[in-house]
Amino acid sequence: MRTRFQSISVVLLCCLPLLAEAQIYRWVDATGQVHFSQNPPASGSYKDVTPLDSRSSAAGGRTRSGTGNGETQAQPLKVRADNAERCAKARERISFLEQKTAQRLFKTGEDGQPAPLTQQEFDEQLNDAKAAGTKYCS
């Protein structure tokens, strides 16, 4: 039983590097702060700092830098998918708000207790949702 567990553990440990492989991007923002992320910034320059190993170099390598302006092929697809998701959420929020009135929606007041939305707050939320719909659904 113990040797079987050890065998399974060894196999799982050998598979971990395959699961952990992801691209890593590095960029410096306007304030000089250095960032590392799995997603490149929406704009500006960045560098792909993913460590190269024998598998990726044998597969032909990859572009090691970009400008953030859509030079990579995966980025436009990700942007479209993100926009589609944001569009769906905006439409859902608009639909929800159009079915309600300000008197039926509550927020947490400064005292921590529920308080009804004012008509102005309700209108702001609806306008924000419509602006998001216009931005992401076009």
pLDDT confidence bin for 57, thresholds 50/70/90: very low
Per-domain residue ranges of the chain = 2-71, 75-136
Note the helical H segments in 59-138.
74-99, 119-136
Closest by CA to 105, choosing from 116, 118, 119, is: 116
93-107 pLDDT tens trace: 888 888 877 668 888
pLDDT confidence bin for 60, thresholds 50/70/90: very low
- If one compares 131 and 20, the residue with the highest pLDDT of the two is 131
Q: Which two tokens stand for residue 31?
A: 């304030």
Q: Which two tokens stand for residue 123?
A: 């209108």
Residue 9's pLDDT is what? Answer: 66
Quickly tell me which residue has 């939320």 as its tokens: 125
Spatial distance between the Cα atoms of 31 and 114, rounded to a whole number of angstroms: 39
Quickly tell me which residue has 């190993």 as its tokens: 53
Mean pLDDT within 58-63? 44
Paired with 35 in beta bridges are 27
Residue 56's pLDDT is what? Answer: 46
> 69 pLDDT exceeds 60?
no
Residue 55's pLDDT is what? Answer: 44
Mean pLDDT within 7-13? 63
